[in-house]
């Protein structure tokens, strides 16, 4: 298991330099980058233009929400409540129309459902959450389920409803009771209550849009959390979590985090390396991580990466300065910082 002594301090500082450079360049108002292991936090660095940030600052993490929702689905699977190849319509009958009768839970988790990711109209109208599910049920598919990969937020709207119907709880409550509480993620949720600790994030339409975003509780990207909480989440996945209430069994976690076969991009036809709700390192990719590692990024620039082979958890959280300023490409900063962390390791991987 990696310890702080297993890092070259000067090389580890290079991960912090990435954050400093990003803030100095005006990309973010603040950045927190942190590294932990199964025992706790090993190292952290903060950078901010004016308002300080810390391990306890609450940031919006956008699509880092997705693997949390996917974990809830896997909990229900290991409890015998569903099979991953079950048609979604078995649980949500009104979903089984417009060519979606054969879409399975696996299709939703792997972004291979064929659902169109067309929700901008609903967001602009400030539609209620029920309207997003209705759209998922009423709209057709872009391609035959399972034939291609196309990243899809709407799939996670359906997964949120699946969790609610199988568990008898709204999905935010389920996540709170079965993931956040057991993992010790006291500051994580869809509507942060502590304004004093919340990062300054600019919404295009100001406070009105931010209020709507919080009430929407989007299962594809609505979570707010802290670096401390994400480190705790990563630790729980490295260790299994509390002995009397593990987040996920070793078997379910192994199934969830292995590369899924045969995924190919809808527009490109190129291979896609993804697990169930998690991203994976591509053999042609940029990360210095192990094949066992998994993670996810968000459009705010947030990034979470977990590497069992090195017993490491990596967190990169940001407060974007301008609406739309951070996007998927902005994860390049987090990836550069993560590679600097791997470059600082003295110790060999865990055997």
Q: Indicate the average pLDDT of the chain.
A: 92
Residue 351 has what pLDDT?
63
Residues in the chain with pLDDT values less than 70: 1-3, 321-330, 351
The residues facing 35 across adjacent strands are 43, 314
Q: How high is the pLDDT of residue 328?
A: 42
- Write down the pLDDT at residue 137: 96
Q: What local confidence, expressed as pLDDT, does residue 321 receive?
A: 58
């Amino acid at each position: 298991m990696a310890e702080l002594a297993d890092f070259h301090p000067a090389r580890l500082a290079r991960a912090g330099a990435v954050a400093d450079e990003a803030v100095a360049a005006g990309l973010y108002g603040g950045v927190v980058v942190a590294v932990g292991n199964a025992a706790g936090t090993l190292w952290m660095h903060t950078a901010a233009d004016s308002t300080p940030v810390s391990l306890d600052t609450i940031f919006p993490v956008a699509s880092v929400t997705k693997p949390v929702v996917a974990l809830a689905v896997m909990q229900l699977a290991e409890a015998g409540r569903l099979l991953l190849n079950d048609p979604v319509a078995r649980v949500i009958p009104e979903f089984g129309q417009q060519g979606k009768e054969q879409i399975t839970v696996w299709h939703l988790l792997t972004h291979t459902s064929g659902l169109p990711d067309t929700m901008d109209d609903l967001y602009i109208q400030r539609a209620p959450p029920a309207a997003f599910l209705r759209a998922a049920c009423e709209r057709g598919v872009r391609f035959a389920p399972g034939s291609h990969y196309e990243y899809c937020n709407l799939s996670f709207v359906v997964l949120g409803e699946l969790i609610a119907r199988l568990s008898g709880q709204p999905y935010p409550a389920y996540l709170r009771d079965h993931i956040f509480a057991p993992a010790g993620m006291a500051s994580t949720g869809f509507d942060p209550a502590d304004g004093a600790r919340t990062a300054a994030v600019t919404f295009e339409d100001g406070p009105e849009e931010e209020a709507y975003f919080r009430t929407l509780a989007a299962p594809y990207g609505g979570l707010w959390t802290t670096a401390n909480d994400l480190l705790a989440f990563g630790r729980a996945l490295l260790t299994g979590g509390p002995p009397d209430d593990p987040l996920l069994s070793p078997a379910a976690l192994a199934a969830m985090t292995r590369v899924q076969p045969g995924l190919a991009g809808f527009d490109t036809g190129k291979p896609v390396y993804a697990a169930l709700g998690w991203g994976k390192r591509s053999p042609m990719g940029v990360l210095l991580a192990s094949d066992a590692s998994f993670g996810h990024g968000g459009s705010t620039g947030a990034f979470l990466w977990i590497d069992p082979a090195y017993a490491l958890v990596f967190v990169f959280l940001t407060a974007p300065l301008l609406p739309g300023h951070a996007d998927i490409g902005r994860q390049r900063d987090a990836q550069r910082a993560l590679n600097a962390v791997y470059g600082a390791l003295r110790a060999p991987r865990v055997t």
